[in-house]
């Protein structure tokens, strides 16, 4: 797996999400940017989906075995994270049920720079659970 290409693709999708997030529905470019985002996501899932789904299955088995694995693009945030993961919002990624943090809202987030999966719990917990 070419992790540089994976990372570059992640960044492109997240940047497109940021661009779309700045537009209003009545903006003339909204539909165009949304279509570009969907094309990037489709290409990403086609190119890296099998690899990432294997990784996600392994992580889910260890961290949140009672939660179904979704398409890799479901785990992407709407903004780029810092290396220390402090900019990951508690509402980013896929909600998971984890035994390590029972009765707390936990999410798995797939972030670039470097490519990794982060378990996000509330505002304070950011735990790297996989790194490319």
Query: How many degrees, rounded to 5, is the angle at CA 86 between CA 100 and CA 20?
Result: 110
Distance CA 59, CA 87 (A): 22
Number of domains making up the chain: 1
Tens-place pLDDT, residues 75-131: 999 887 666 655 677 788 999 999 899 889 999 999 998 899 999 998 888 899 999
Closest among 71, 122, 50, 64 to 92, alpha carbons compared: 122
pLDDT tens profile 21-52: 999 999 999 999 999 999 999 999 999 999 99
Residue numbers of the domain that contains 26: 3-131
């Amino acid at each position: 797996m070419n992790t540089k290409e994976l990372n570059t693709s992640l960044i492109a999708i997240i940047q497109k999400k940021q661009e779309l997030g700045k537009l209003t529905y009545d903006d003339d470019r909204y539909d165009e940017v949304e279509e570009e985002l969907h094309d990037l996501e489709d290409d990403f899932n086609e190119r890296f989906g099998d690899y990432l789904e294997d990784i996600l299955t392994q992580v889910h088995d260890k961290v949140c075995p009672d939660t179904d694995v979704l398409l890799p693009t479901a785990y992407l945030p709407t903004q780029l994270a810092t290396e220390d993961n402090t900019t990951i919002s508690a509402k980013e990624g896929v909600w998971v049920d984890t035994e390590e943090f029972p009765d707390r809202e936990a999410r798995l987030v797939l972030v670039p720079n470097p490519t990794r999966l982060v378990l996000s719990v509330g505002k304070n917990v950011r735990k790297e659970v996989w790194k490319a």
